[in-house]
Amino acid sequence: MINTPLALPCGAIIKNRLCKAAMTERLCSRTGIPNHKLTHLYKRWAETGTGLQITGNVMIDRNHLESAGNIIIDSDVIHPEFKALAEAGKIQGNHIWVQISHSGRQTSRFVNLKPKSASEVQLKKMGLFGKPRSMTESDIKDVIVGFARAARVCKGAGFTGVQIHAAHGYLLSQFLSPITNHRKDQWGGSLDNRSRLLLSIIDEVRKEVGPDFPISVKLNSADFQRGGFSEEESIEVIKMLEESGIDLLEISGGTYEKVVFFLMNGENTRESTRRREAYFLDFAEKVREITSLPLMVTGGFRTHSFSSKAIEDGAIDMVGMARPFITNLDEIKGFISGDTENLLDLVIRTGVADLEETAEAGFYARNILRIAQGKEVKFKFSSVGNATFFVKHEFVKGMARRIFGSK
């Protein structure tokens, strides 16, 4: 089932059911323009034969970055480097979609001391994030325009689709969640109001790209925090998304305060989750009952037989994978064909709770850089070194932006 095509509502056809899901690359300079490293990276991933690639966060506002090395689209200029990246990502008939995002309060102090968000609710994590300012009506309108402009640029550069990032605690997720959205105007309060920004963006993006260009949304199944965006609310938003006319829904979960999407493996994962293999498949099956939208789940898939059965049973339409495209880069082609049954489920642990996330992030960030440089993946890094690499990278690039500017 993995090696069969998928037809989307807009008419686009993806050649197989495996997606290289979004991973932040952290490879750009402070200008935010793609470089030869990114082009090589996506060419290498395209050579695996995966049907779809989704880029890491591409930001619509250079003052609100998920990482100091993000690609930025905040003007109508289509740089040649954007076109080169799009071409590299589709050399084997692959689709390559751009994940468009705004980090809101999840912008580190190294980039912005006073980021903007739905409300003035600070992310208190390792002292890395400042207290945000509540967005004005004008700020919100600028965000809608920014997403639409970025989609227009992506289509003009030759990318084959876009994904709107409304998960993982970034800005659109901040508007959806009662924890971070305390507004009393048309953008807060009821679920209809909290969903308004996401739905307005989808509407404007569709106007820009036309009816036959794929639009995807990445949405949390839940925040996994008391009082946050719940599964019940997610189901209601998904009904709205179907009416909005999107082409693929990717299901994930968590925020920076509850990093379910990143650390749901290893010894802290429920046994039932490990047996089922895919982290959010239970929720996908609930979603299937209320919508005919094409569904993708990312996280945890590691065996061909289980992945194929999830598609065959109708639980999902696409399998999303991220980290195996680093640790198992040479085995992906065999996984698609069925010649390779198992992929590596690598767990990076330091034994120090406060360093677990940065150590794991650092390991994959270092190896993304190695692949982009044409080097082999390296498995034996120091866990503490991984953690310090991650923080040092964000500090150096972030401070360079603050001191020297970003253009």
Question: Based on C-alpha coordinates, what's the Rg of the chain?
Answer: 19
**Average pLDDT of the residues in 53-68:** 95
* Cα separation, 31 vs 177, whole angstroms: 32
Tokens read off for 69: 């090395």
User: Which range marks the domain in which residue 332 is found?
Assistant: 6-404
Judge whether residue 178 has pLDDT over 80: yes
In contact, 70 and 58? CB cutoff 8 Å: yes
Judge whether residue 275 has pLDDT over 70: no
Judge whether residue 400 has pLDDT over 90: no
* Cα separation, 236 vs 388, whole angstroms: 41
Task: Please indicate, yes or no, if residue 156 is contained in any of the structural domains.
Answer: yes
Task: Please indicate, yes or no, if residue 68 is contained in any of the structural domains.
Answer: yes
Residue range 3-22, pLDDT digits in tens: 999 999 999 999 999 999 99
Task: Please indicate, yes or no, if residue 1 is contained in any of the structural domains.
Answer: no
Tell me which of 18-32, 261-275, 322-336, 337-351 is least confident: 261-275
Q: How confident is the model at residue 36 (pLDDT cuts 50, 70, 90)?
A: very high
Position 276 scores a pLDDT of 53
| Cα dihedral sign, 231-233-238-241 | negative
Three-class HEC string of the chain: CCCCCEECCCCCEECCCEEECCCCCCCCCCCCCCCHHHHHHHHHHHCCCCCEEECCCEECCCCCCCCCCCEECCCCCCCHHHHHHHHHCCCCCCEEEEEEECCCCCCECCCCCCCEECCCCCCCCCCCECCCEECCHHHHHHHHHHHHHHHHHHHHHCCCEEEEEECCCCHHHHHHCCCCCCCCCCCCCCHHHHCHHHHHHHHHHHHHHCCCCCEEEEEECCCCCCCCCCHHHHHHHHHHHHHHCCCEEEEECCECCECHHHHCCHHHCCHHHHHHCCCCHHHHHHHHCCCCCCEEEECCCCEHHHHHHHHHCCCCCEEEECCHHHHCHHHHHHHHHCCCCECCCCCCCCCCHHHHHHHHHHHHHHHHHHHHCCCCCCCCCCHHHHHHHHHHHHHHHHHHHHHHCCC
| Cα dihedral sign, 237-241-242-243 | positive
Burial of 127 from C-beta contacts in 10 A (0-12 / 13-18 / 19+): exposed
Task: Please indicate, yes or no, if residue 184 is contained in any of the structural domains.
Answer: yes
Judge whether residue 270 has pLDDT over 70: no
The rounded mean pLDDT for the chain is 90
Tokens read off for 251: 């299901």
Residue with tokens 């965000």: 143
Enumerate the β-bridge partners of residue 95: 52
Q: Which residues contact 90 (CB under 8 A, 6 or more apart)?
A: 46, 96, 158, 160
Half-sphere exposure of 53 (CA within 13 A, CB side): 29
Task: Please indicate, yes or no, if residue 230 is contained in any of the structural domains.
Answer: yes
Judge whether residue 398 has pLDDT over 80: no
Tell me which of 88-97, 153-162, 229-238, 260-269 is least confident: 260-269
**Average pLDDT of the residues in 89-107:** 97
> Domains in the chain: how many in total?
1
Residue range 351-377, pLDDT digits in tens: 666 667 778 888 899 999 999 999 999
**Average pLDDT of the residues in 154-165:** 98
Position 349 scores a pLDDT of 65
**Average pLDDT of the residues in 82-94:** 98
In contact, 225 and 257? CB cutoff 8 Å: yes
Share of the chain above pLDDT 90, in %: 71
For residue 272, how far is the Cα from the chain centroid? 25
* Cα separation, 164 vs 142, whole angstroms: 16
Q: How confident is the model at residue 127 (pLDDT cuts 50, 70, 90)?
A: confident
Position 247 scores a pLDDT of 98
Residue range 198-245, pLDDT digits in tens: 999 999 999 999 999 999 999 998 777 777 889 999 999 999 999 999
Judge whether residue 168 has pLDDT over 70: yes
Residue range 251-267, pLDDT digits in tens: 987 666 555 444 444 44
Q: Which residue has the higher pLDDT, 41 or 403?
A: 41
Task: List the CATH number of the domain containing 385.
Answer: 3.20.20.70
Judge whether residue 195 has pLDDT over 80: yes
* Cα separation, 215 vs 228, whole angstroms: 26
